[in-house]
Amino acid sequence: MKHFPVPDYHIHTYLCGHASGQPYEYVEHAISLGFSEIGFSDHAPMVSHRDPTVTMAMDELPLYHKMIEQVKEKYKDAITVKVGIEADFIPGYEAQTEKILQAYPYDYVIGSVHYIGDWGFDNSDEQEKLKKLNINDTYRAYHKLLRKCAQSGLFDIMAHTDLVKKFGHFPTEDISDEIIATAEIFKECKVAIELNTSGLRKPAREMYPALATLKLFFQHGVPLIFGSDSHRPQEVGMDFNQAIAAAQRAGYRECLRFRQRKIEEVVSLV
């Protein structure tokens, strides 16, 4: 059987309101692909507002942990299942976010910027706004938030670090100064980035981040993990061969495994 040397750390559950299937189906698909480790990282309860189609609710958090514990135990001889979470970075709500993240133990916490102000820029219902704004300014505002997200100290891994491109809107000028500033902060704050394959399934038709951005992160010594951002069982590990090849093209030879919010192992990609 084909064996995947790297774990898939970005997997959702139906609790977020926009994913399908049961956790065991995600786990069984991972086993069938030859994964020896995966991690769930569903959308943590939103601190700024409540939207049952975007994240789990506060009172669903115990069920999330129970569900993951169950599959972890059930499949322990076949695969290691880690417990992670993907939490939004909303400036001004750091204390509330921290409280949620401290309520349960995690193997890793993924920090995400899905909002610029109260604009959910990656929500298909709100994408019209992208056309009205200067796209380069939007990328710059997004990078500013990415840096604040890392500097908050709340997160171990930074998610999909060029998500603004999701609907196919790319910068029209060179923004490598922003990317370099972000890479420097990520290195300083000791956060990893993820290479997220879900962008291939979106109008952007490329992974998050783009290869040129990934190269800059590598050159600044920012460590890497891999994520499929699965919202359906069959998306687990999707395009991971392509992702590993892209990481190697960017210069990466290793990725990380996490346990209890610490680096457990540096895994060779070759």
Report the interface residues with Zn ion, using CB under 5 A. 112, 159
Nearest CA to 214 out of 234, 192, 232 is that of: 192
The CB-of-261 to Zn ion minimum distance in angstroms stands at 19
The Cα–Cα gap between 113 and 145 comes to 7
The CB-of-229 to Zn ion minimum distance in angstroms stands at 6
Beta bridge partners of 262: 259
Nearest CA to 111 out of 163, 168, 50 is that of: 163
Q: Which is nearer to Zn ion, 114 or 215 (CB)?
A: 114
Q: Which is nearer to Zn ion, 30 or 157 (CB)?
A: 157
Torsion, CA 58, CA 62, CA 64, CA 66, rounded to 10? 180
**DSSP state letter for 15:** G
Q: Provide Rg for the chain, Cα atoms.
A: 17
Q: Which is nearer to Zn ion, 112 or 197 (CB)?
A: 112
The Cα–Cα gap between 264 and 143 comes to 29
Q: Residue 209 carries which side chain, given as an amino acid letter?
A: P
Alpha carbon 168 to chain centroid, angstroms: 19
The CB-of-85 to Zn ion minimum distance in angstroms stands at 11
Tokens of 117: 């102000």
Residues 6+ apart with CB under 8 A from 134: none
Q: Which is nearer to Zn ion, 71 or 149 (CB)?
A: 149
The CB-of-15 to Zn ion minimum distance in angstroms stands at 11
Q: Which is nearer to Zn ion, 10 or 257 (CB)?
A: 10
The CB-of-201 to Zn ion minimum distance in angstroms stands at 12
Q: Which is nearer to Zn ion, 206 or 264 (CB)?
A: 206
Q: Which residue is nearest to Zn ion (CB)?
A: 112
The CB-of-1 to Zn ion minimum distance in angstroms stands at 29
